[in-house]
Amino acid sequence: LIQLFRPLDMLGMVYRTVRQGIIDMAAMFDLIDTDVEVRDAPSAPALVVKRPTISFEDVVFGYEQDRTILKGLSFEVPAGNHVAIVGPSGAGKSTIARLLFRFYDPQSGRILIDGQDIAQVTQKSLRAQIGIVPQDSVLFNESIGYNIAYGREGATEEEVNAAAQASAILPFIERLPQGFDTEVGERGLKLSGGEKQRVAIARTLVKNPPILLLDEATSALDSRTEQDILRTLHRVSEDRTTLAIAHRLSTIADADRILVLDQGRLAESGTHAQLLRQGGLYAEMWARQQAESEAESEAAE
């Protein structure tokens, strides 16, 4: 009977948390531990990562049958590299992230991590290798400590502490009368966008994955907080294969490679300097964003 009620209970919990808007998509998938879109192949092996390379090979994908979003996309992220994906709204940037985390399977083509097709390995082993820092970091209605430790089952107090330090949220936590035991969310402390983001980064550090998926989230933050968070993310992503979805080009100018996605196709790719020289879509987007930020700073004066 308990077995029977557990999923219902879980769903109730998911429903409540979603309603409260304090849960992220990855966490939700972990919680219900079932997946309507994708299934493990029978006797699928675990993903084993020695060199965390990512390859998309001619990936075609659409959410609906008659509307293709990614139209034969190929690219590679070498182990330890930082690759940023940019492109107009609706180009398919977040879709790439969702496919890499295997919320969906491609209609054709393959996605490989360290040479292994991610559709052929267990979802659990795949997701254990990827840390997501999402656009809107959302937290459980639990203590700050719980929210950080959630990154990995069995995380120790020392690990949680070290992660909080590395993500620069420790001084803030130490100033709270109840420290790591402080409840967050509706029942407790309301965290700012930047603080939530730091808790999410700490959670990812506890997980300690070889691959990082960053969904740039800077629109909600003021520019000083944004710069601080970016510096933290930079430190955290050293030595990890990082795929960053970026909206503001200024934040990714030093990426090893920038992929410019346009209508589900790779329109351009190269370093910031190379793409500027090319004078194509990236150069155009860069010029527009520069003009916008100049206009903003003039308006602020």
Q: Which residue ranges make up the site for ligand ATP (CB under 6 A)?
A: 63-64, 69, 87, 89-95
β-strand partners of 143: 183
- Quote the CA–CA distance of 176 and 189 in Å, as a whole number: 10
CB-nearer residue toward ligand ATP: 49 or 217 = 217
| Identity of residue 2 | I
Shortest Cβ distance from residue 196 to ligand ATP (Å)? 19
Nearer to ligand ATP by Cβ, of 155 and 266: the residue is 266
**Integer Cα distance of 223 and 160 in angstroms:** 28
Closest CA to 160 of 178, 147, 176, 142: 147
Q: For ligand ATP, which is the closer residue by CB, 3 or 89?
A: 89
Q: How far is the CB of 66 from ligand ATP (least distance, A)?
A: 12
Smallest distance from the beta carbon of 83 to ligand ATP, in angstroms? 15
Q: 261 forms bridges with which residues in the sheet?
A: 266
Closer CB to ligand ATP, 32 or 176, in the complex:
32
Quote the crossing angle between the two packed helices 223-237 and 157-166, to the nearest 10°: 130
Nearest residue (CB) to ligand ATP, 64 versus 239: 64
CB of 79 to ligand ATP, least distance (A): 25
Minimum distance from residue 87 beta carbon to ligand ATP (Å): 6
Nearer to ligand ATP, 144 or 245 (CB): 245
3-state secondary structure 88-127: CCCCCHHHHHHHHCCCCCCCEEEEEECCEECCCCCHHHHH
Length of the chain: 301
Smallest separation, CB 243 to ligand ATP (Å):
13
CA distance 152 to 146: 10
Of 275, 279, 298, 20, nearest in space to 141 by CA: 20
